[in-house]
A and B are shown apart, each in its own frame.
Chain A
Amino acid sequence: MIPTPDPAYRVGDSVLPGDDVSAAVRTGDVSKIVLGPGLRRLGSQVVVSRAGVLKMPKNNVFVVDAYQKRYIPVKDEHVVGVVTNASSDVFRVDIGASVTASLSYLDFEHATKKNRPNIQVGDVVYAKLSTAGRDMEPELVCVDTHGKAGKLGKLEDGFLLTCSLNLIRKLLSVNCPLLQALGQKWPYECAFGMNGKVWIKARSVKETIAIGNAIYESELMDNAQIKKMCTNLGLVIDSM
Chain B
Amino acid sequence: MKETPYSNIEKNFLKTALSERKRLDGRSFDDRRSVRINFGKEYGCCHVALGDTRVLAQVSSEIQQPKSTRPNEGQVFVNVEFSPMSAEHVEPGKPSEACVEVTRVLEKCIRESKCVDLESLCIIAEEKVWALRVDLTVLNMEGNIVECASIAALSALAHFRRPDVTSTGDRLIIHDASEKEPLQTALHHFPICLTYAIFNKGKQIVADPTLIEEQTAEASLSVGMNAYRELCGLHLGGQALSDHQSILKIVQKAGASAAEIVQLIKKALAEDEEARTKNEVVGLTACIRAGRITTLCDQRMKIKINSQSIQEVAENLIAQRQQNKHTKFDDEGNAVEFTPSEKIIVSIGENSAELQDVDDEMGGETDEEMKEDLSDNNEKNQSNEEDNDSDDPTCVVHLPANRRETIKNQPRASVIQTKITTKNQQRTSKIEPEITTIDDSDDDELEVVQELTKEEKERMKKVETLVLDDSEEEETTTLTAGEIETPTNNPTPDSKKKKKNKNKNKKKGESGRSQDSNARQWYSKNAW
Which residues from chain A sit less than 8 Å from chain B, CB to CB? 2-3, 67, 82, 84, 94, 120, 122-124, 155-164, 166-167, 199, 205-206, 208-210, 212-214, 216-217, 219-221, 224-225, 228-229, 232-233, 235-236, 240
Contact = CB atoms under 8 A, between A and B. Distances in A.
B17 interface: yes
Contacts of A240: 476
Contact of A205 (B13, B321, B476): B13
Contact of B9 (A124, A162, A164, A213): A124
Contacts of A120: 8
Given A163-B305, A213-B314, 17 more contacts: A122-B11, A157-B12, A157-B13, A158-B13, A161-B307, A164-B305, A199-B9, A205-B16, A205-B17, A209-B313, A212-B310, A213-B317, A225-B486, A229-B321, A235-B324, A236-B321, A240-B476
9 contacts: A82-B4, A163-B305, A205-B16, A208-B13, A212-B314, A216-B305, A216-B310, A229-B321, A236-B324
B8 A220 contact: no
Contact of B313 (A213, A220, A232): A213
B318 interface: yes
Given A123-B8, A236-B324, A213 B17 contact: no
A84 B2 CA distance: 10
B311 interface: yes
Contacts of A209: 17, 22, 24, 310, 313, 317
Given A210-B317, A240-B476, A163 B306 contact: yes
A232 B321 contact: yes
Contacts of A217: 314, 318, 485
B433 interface: no
A224 B497 contact: yes
A216 B317 CA distance: 11
A2 to B, nearest CB: 7
B7 A220 contact: no
Interface string B474-496: 00100000000111100000000
B93 interface: no
A232 B305 contact: no
Given A2-B526, A3-B526, A159-B9, A219 B305 contact: yes
A237 to B, nearest CB: 8
Interface of B: 4-5, 7-13, 16-17, 20, 22, 24, 301-302, 305-307, 310-311, 313-314, 316-318, 320-325, 476, 485-488, 497, 526
B9 A155 contact: yes
A226 B317 CA distance: 15
A14 to B, nearest CB: 12
The 9 closest A-B pairs by CB, nearest first: A213-B314, A122-B8, A213-B317, A236-B320, A159-B13, A82-B7, A216-B306, A232-B321, A162-B307
Contact of B302 (A199, A208, A219): A219
B9 A158 contact: yes
A218 to B, nearest CB: 10
A220 B302 contact: yes
B324 A124 contact: no
Nearest to A221: B486
B302 A205 contact: no
Contacts of B8: 120, 122-124
Nearest to B497: A224
A97 B240 CA distance: 37
A114 to B, nearest CB: 25
A206 B13 contact: no
A67 B301 contact: yes
B6 to A, nearest CB: 8
A173 to B, nearest CB: 17
A216 B314 contact: yes
B487 A229 contact: yes
A81 B13 CA distance: 17
A220 B298 CA distance: 10
A124 B314 CA distance: 23
Nearest to B312: A213
Contact of B7 (A2, A124, A212): A124
Contacts of A221: 486
Nearest to B10: A160
B370 to A, nearest CB: 19
Contacts of A213: 310, 313-314, 316-318
Given A157-B12, A219-B302, A225 B488 contact: yes
A220 B9 contact: no
A167 B305 contact: yes
Most buried by A among B307, B316, B323: B307
A159 B11 CA distance: 9
A122 B307 contact: no
B524 to A, nearest CB: 13
B429 to A, nearest CB: 29
Contacts of A199: 9
Nearest to A82: B7
Nearest to B26: A209
Nearest to B316: A213
Contacts of B10: 159-160
Nearest to B18: A205
Given A67-B301, A164-B305, A167-B305, A156 B314 contact: no
Contacts of B17: 205, 209
